[in-house]
C-alpha cells in the first residue's frame, strides 16, 4: 500500500469539519472549511464577460492580417500561429548574472516570451475547437517546448494560458503563452525537490503513486481516457481546481506518444467544456504545464502534469478571493475537493 492510499484511508476517519491538507508537490498546507459557501454574500460580484461573437475582429491584434500594438502585422494564418511577445516580461540574452549573499541575493534573468494563438477564429475557445484543431494546439506546445528545451541558456520553459478578463487576459482571442527563462521558477523548484526526494526514498515517481491511489478511490476523479486523468487534487486551493496527470509517466512534451498526444487533446477540450457547463458561462482559469526543467539535469521521478486554476466559487459572478488570512497565513477553501469533483463529474 502506497503512502497516498494510507493517507486517504486516514482521511476517512476525520470528521468533515475544518481541517488542513498538505500538498506533497510543494509542502504547503491548505485549510479546508466545508460549508462556508452558505454564508451571506454582500461582497463583490464579477461582471460576466461576453464571449466573442465574430470569427474575425478587425480591432483584435491577434486575428489574422491585423496590425499588432507595435508595427508588426500578423500574416493571414489559417491554423496555429506563434510570435514573439511585443511586450515581453523578460529581456533577451544568454548571460546569467548573480550577486549578493544568501540572505540578500539577486540574479539577472533572461529569456523569451511567445504568444501562442490557438486558431484564426476569434470566437472559439479550446472547448469549442474540433479535435483536429486541438491536436494542432498540442503539436504547437510540443514544438515550442522542444525548441527551448534544447537551448543551453534556458533552464525552464512554461506553457500556460490565462482565460478570461478575471484572470488577467488582455485579449479574448483564444491564445496561450510560453515564457522561457534562464532560471527555474519558484513553484517548479519546489516540485523538483519534492518529486526528487520522494523518488530517492521510494523508488517510484510521486505522481504515479498518487494517481494510482486516486484512481483506486475514485472520489476526486472528474474525467479521463486511456492516457490521462483529470482530478481535483486532494490538496486543491481553488474551488474547482484540476490536476491533469498521465497514466503512464512522461517527463516532458518530447516524451508524448502519438496516443498520449491525441488523448491529451481530447481531454483538454472536455475539461473546458465541463468548466463552461458548471455555471453556464465561459469559465475563467489559469492553466499551465509543469514539465521537467530544461537545465540538463536527470530529474528522475519527475512526471509531467497540468494545473487548472479557476477562480469562480458559488456562481458565475462570485469568485474565490485569496486575501486576508490566505495572504497572511495559509490558503483556505470553502468547499471540499470531493464535493467539487462530484459536481464536475456530473457535467462530464
Question: Which residues are known catalytic residues?
Answer: 175
Instruction: State the burial class of residue 258 (Cβ atoms within 10 Å of its Cβ: 0-12, 13-18, 19+).
Output: exposed
Coil, helix or strand for 152?
Answer: coil
Contact in structure between 331 and 30 (CB atoms under 8 Å): yes
Name the H helices within 226-336.
258-278, 325-328
Query: Which residues make beta-bridge pairs with 285?
Result: 163
Contact in structure between 258 and 135 (CB atoms under 8 Å): no
Which residue reads 460576466 in cell numbers?
A: 48
Residue 221, C-alpha cell as written in the block:
476523479
Tell me how long the chain is.
Answer: 348
Cβ-proximal residues to 343 (8 Å cutoff; 6+ apart), any chain? 240, 278
Contact in structure between 65 and 74 (CB atoms under 8 Å): yes
Amino acid at each position: 500500500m502506497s503512502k497516498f492510499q494510507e493517507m486517504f484511508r486516514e482521511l476517512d476517519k476525520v470528521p468533515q469539519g475544518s481541517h488542513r491538507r498538505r500538498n506533497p508537490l510543494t509542502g504547503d498546507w491548505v485549510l479546508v472549511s466545508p460549508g462556508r459557501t452558505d454564508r451571506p454574500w454582500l461582497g463583490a460580484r464579477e461582471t460576466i464577460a461576453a464571449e466573442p461573437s465574430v470569427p474575425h475582429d478587425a480591432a483584435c491584434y491577434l486575428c489574422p492580417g491585423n496590425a499588432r500594438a507595435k508595427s508588426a502585422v500578423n500574416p493571414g494564418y489559417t491554423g496555429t500561429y506563434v510570435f514573439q511577445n511585443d511586450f515581453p516580461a523578460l529581456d533577451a540574452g544568454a548571460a546569467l548574472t548573480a550577486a549578493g549573499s544568501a540572505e540578500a541575493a539577486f540574479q539577472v534573468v533572461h529569456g523569451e516570451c511567445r504568444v501562442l494563438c490557438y486558431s484564426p477564429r476569434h470566437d472559439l475557445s479550446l472547448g469549442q475547437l474540433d479535435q483536429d484543431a486541438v491536436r494542432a494546439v498540442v503539436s504547437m506546445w510540443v514544438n515550442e517546448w522542444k525548441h527551448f528545451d534544447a537551448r543551453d541558456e534556458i533552464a525552464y520553459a512554461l506553457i500556460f494560458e490565462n482565460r478570461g478578463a478575471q484572470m488577467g487576459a488582455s485579449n479574448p482571442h483564444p491564445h496561450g503563452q510560453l515564457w522561457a527563462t534562464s532560471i527555474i521558477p519558484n513553484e517548479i523548484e519546489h516540485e523538483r525537490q519534492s518529486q526528487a526526494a520522494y523518488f530517492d526514498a521510494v523508488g517510484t515517481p510521486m505522481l504515479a503513486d498518487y494517481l494510482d491511489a486516486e484512481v483506486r478511490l475514485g472520489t476526486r476523479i472528474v474525467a479521463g481516457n486511456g492516457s490521462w486523468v483529470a482530478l481535483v487534487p486532494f490538496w486543491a486551493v481553488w474551488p474547482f481546481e484540476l490536476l491533469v496527470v498521465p497514466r503512464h509517466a512522461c517527463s516532458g512534451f518530447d516524451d508524448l506518444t502519438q496516443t498520449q498526444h491525441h488523448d491529451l487533446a481530447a481531454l483538454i477540450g472536455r475539461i473546458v467544456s465541463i468548466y463552461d457547463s458548471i455555471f453556464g458561462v465561459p469559465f475563467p482559469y489559469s492553466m499551465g504545464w509543469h514539465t521537467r526543467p530544461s537545465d540538463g539535469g536527470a530529474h528522475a521521478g519527475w512526471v509531467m502534469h497540468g494545473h487548472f486554476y479557476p477562480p469562480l466559487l458559488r456562481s458565475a459572478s462570485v469568485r474565490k478571493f485569496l486575501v486576508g488570512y490566505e495572504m497572511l497565513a495559509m490558503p483556505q477553501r470553502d468547499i471540499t475537493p470531493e464535493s467539487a469533483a462530484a459536481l464536475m463529474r456530473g457535467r462530464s
